[in-house]
Structure 1
Amino acid sequence: MLHLRKALSDNLFNPNYCRNLFCLYLRTKSGDGSGGFCWKTNREEEEEEGQIRLFKSRGQHLLTNPRVLDAIIRASGVKPDDTVLEIGPGTGNLTLKLLEAAKKVVAVEIDSRMVEVLRKRAAAAGRGFDDRLDIIIGDALRTEFPKFNLVVANIPYGISSPLLAKLVYGATENPFRSATLLLQKEFARRLLAKPGDSEFNRLAVNVNLVANVEFVMDVSKRDFVPCPRVDSSVVKIYPKSEIPNVDLDEWWAFTRTCFCKKNKTLGATFKQKRKLMELMKLSKFDLLSEDGNSEGREYDSNGDGDEEGFGSCLGSDNGVGILRRKIVSVLESGEFLDKRPSKLSNDDLLCLLFLFNEAGIYFSDQEKPKGGVCAAACGDLM
């Protein structure tokens, strides 16, 4: 047993050794020594590396380059008294380095095979690693995270957007210092984009509302096992201590409208009859009159109100025309009529949303209970 522990300790960061260890574990679990369920059954869904069965569809790409792992640890700024949240630790290449630097690591992993290997590696490393490692087996999107100071993680590509939403919007209730994330390179570029950049998009706008993002470094796809199709990038995210006082459901719906055609002028976007009809339903106001006498009467959503109210004008060209003129007036008042969302800052967008709401125009259902950060955690920022 002592010889086995020493062998494990000496080879913890040897990728080939770790693959062979995982293969041995799979053979043991199968009971017949044949490798059991580590063999491929679908070339589109999974890739065999050594004899480890890793599913690309689950984002199971293990980072094996020690230099890159060390660089991520340095960039994270982890301190000896930190509790670090790691999402998708896999077999523990990054986890073990975090345990060397932090007080405690909370690892969230959905694959029980990976969990068992991770536990064995932590125990074999000694130095109390297994006592300072808490493993939560489950889906990171559905798991309630415990308190932590720092996030350091190689995020599975398929859940990057909803998981990022959960982290940055959840920081208002569970604050943390920073998140150092390894992401798909294209996704990272979209996240880092600024107004006027060709990649600027709704993702950058929504994350920027609550956090600042900085680029750390690029990582080659050759540093992973199995090799993914694209390169990755490391970014560092700092939650803002103060965020704008805005209804988040309204903000997300507003940015979705603006960025559905981000290079169109706002004037052109809000000319579309379908969009105008949608806004009429959401705003629930009687817009038949432009003289101010009937505007502002709340629409009876049950259809029991005044026949000349909103219900009767909902499908009428007259009602749509009044709303269109109202929207044009709002856009002109802020000099937004000929502006394009792809060139607007967050301050510009917040100003425009305020003008719309002040005029009684809303982008989300005002009678529906507000989702708050829970809606963001389950939603998509893109």
Structure 2
Amino acid sequence: MPRATTEKFSRAHQPAVKKKDAQSSGSMTNPIFNTARFGQHILKNPATAQKIVDAANLKPTDKVMEVGPGTGNLTVKILEKAKHVTAIEMDPRMAAEVIKRVQGTPDQRKLEVIIGDFVKVDMPYFEVCISNTPYQISSPLVFRLLSHRPLFRVAILMFQREFALRLVARPGTSLWSRLSANVQLYAKVDNIINVSRNDFRPPPQVESSVIRLVPIDPPPPVKFEEFDGMNRIIFSRPNKTVRGNFQAKGVMKMLEQNRSTWLAVQEMAIDDDRPINKMVDDVLSELTFAENRASKMDIDDLLKMLAAFHGVGIHFS
């Protein structure tokens, strides 16, 4: 795993810098803030940074994973309260800046930097995750965290506001979506801070929000691929009826293939000669969900429907 200490660090997943790019960066007044290629915006407001760290309720024994530390404005505040911080940073220039800020201080021993792409590197053990998340990895970050074991205690995550609002949306609201349902199956999510674009350097084009994500422990015994596969169908048009979404082109063929594969793996003979479309329709009718709309169905409704489909051998992955 590519790692860095305060004395030495190595580079991973880092494309070679072209001579022209290097010359261009060198001509800038402060090249450390030329972060466009990584989609990163540096949080510059110390009051906002303090609110984010306070929201984590850190303990002196906590090991923290920070994603996208930038120049370390959050990192130094986390180090004041936590036992150890592992910061994962894509940009070696930023990593060097974070390391520089703690060199020669007691916090130097408490910091480790991993240089690389968060979606590729191995995650360390941690109890708390704090992230000023590069927008392009928002969804991968959330689901990578939720699949991580052992479970962490809490994650305090900054996202583009629209994405954050979808994470915390409730059934029946305009933002309730496949993303909302998939995340809320495995975690409790709250919106805790709204952050102005002016709190960043350079300012992003959108406003941001900070959410608190607490994994459900123990996690529900539901295979994510199955739950997400069903949601992919019914949320394709969330305001259309569930029956209507199952009638979309290609859905029945996929379900028929999945059922045949499942029966073969289970070494079971076909004991139900109903056409797949009739099986689906019967399940939805028995649940009285046929005319429901995904936009108004809660987690319990979705789990009940998934269990009923599994009961007749219909699977989604």
- State the Cα distance separating 1:210 from its structure 2 match: 0.9
Q: Are the aligned partners of 1:49 and 1:226 in contact in 2 as well (CA < 8 Å)?
A: no
Question: Which residue in 1 is equivalent to 2:89?
Answer: 109
User: Residues of 1 paired with 2:222 and 2:79: CA distance?
Assistant: 39
Which of 134, 138, 144 does residue 166 from structure 1 map onto?
A: 144
Q: Deviations over 1:198-252 (max 9, x none)?
A: 0000111111111100111100001100110001001101011122222222122
Q: Residues 273 and 138 of structure 1: is their aligned pair in 2 closer, same or farther, counting only changes over 3 Å?
A: closer
Unaligned runs of 5+ in 2: 1-21, 263-267
Report the residue type matching 1:219 in the other structure.
V
Q: TM-score, normalised by structure 1?
A: 0.72
Say yes or no: does 1:324 pair with 2:277.
yes
Q: Are the aligned partners of 2:69 and 2:131 in contact in 1 as well (CA < 8 Å)?
A: yes
User: Residues of 2 paired with 1:273 and 1:152: CA distance?
Assistant: 42
| RMSD of equivalent CA atoms | 2.3
Question: Which residue in 2 is equivalent to 1:131?
Answer: 109
Say yes or no: does 1:342 pair with 2:295.
yes
Report the residue type matching 2:81 in the other structure.
A
Q: Residues 49 and 63 of structure 1: is their aligned pair in 2 closer, same or farther, counting only changes over 3 Å?
A: farther
* Count of residues in Structure 1 that have an aligned counterpart in Structure 2: 292
Which protein has the larger Cα radius of gyration, Structure 1 or Structure 2?
Answer: 1
- State the Cα distance separating 1:57 from its structure 2 match: 4.0
Match runs of 1:71-110 below 5 Å: 71-110=51-90
Say yes or no: does 1:228 pair with 2:198.
no
Question: Which residue in 2 is equivalent to 1:209?
Answer: 185
**SS of 1:183 mapped into structure 2:** strand
User: Residues of 1 paired with 2:249 and 2:201: CA distance?
Assistant: 50
Say yes or no: does 1:258 pair with 2:238.
no
- State the Cα distance separating 1:55 from its structure 2 match: 2.8
Q: Deviations over 1:287-337 (max 9, x none)?
A: xxxxxxxxx7359xxxxxxxxxx9xxxxxxxx9x82222211100111101
Q: Deviations over 1:44-92 (max 9, x none)?
A: xxxx674445232412200000110111111111111111110111111
Q: Are the aligned partners of 1:285 and 1:297 in contact in 2 as well (CA < 8 Å)?
A: no
User: Residues of 1 paired with 2:167 and 2:29: CA distance?
Assistant: 31
**SS of 2:211 mapped into structure 1:** strand
Identity of aligned residues (%): 38
**SS of 2:247 mapped into structure 1:** coil
User: Residues of 2 paired with 1:114 and 1:237: CA distance?
Assistant: 26
User: Residues of 2 paired with 1:105 and 1:152: CA distance?
Assistant: 10
Q: Are the aligned partners of 2:33 and 2:201 in contact in 1 as well (CA < 8 Å)?
A: no
Q: Are the aligned partners of 1:38 and 1:53 in contact in 2 as well (CA < 8 Å)?
A: no
**SS of 1:264 mapped into structure 2:** coil
- State the Cα distance separating 1:360 from its structure 2 match: 1.6
User: Residues of 2 paired with 1:192 and 1:359: CA distance?
Assistant: 33
Q: Are the aligned partners of 1:221 and 1:230 in contact in 2 as well (CA < 8 Å)?
A: yes
Which of 244-253 and 75-84 deviates more? 244-253
Q: Are the aligned partners of 2:230 and 2:316 in contact in 1 as well (CA < 8 Å)?
A: yes
User: Residues of 2 paired with 1:120 and 1:244: CA distance?
Assistant: 43
Q: Residues 57 and 191 of structure 1: is their aligned pair in 2 closer, same or farther, counting only changes over 3 Å?
A: farther
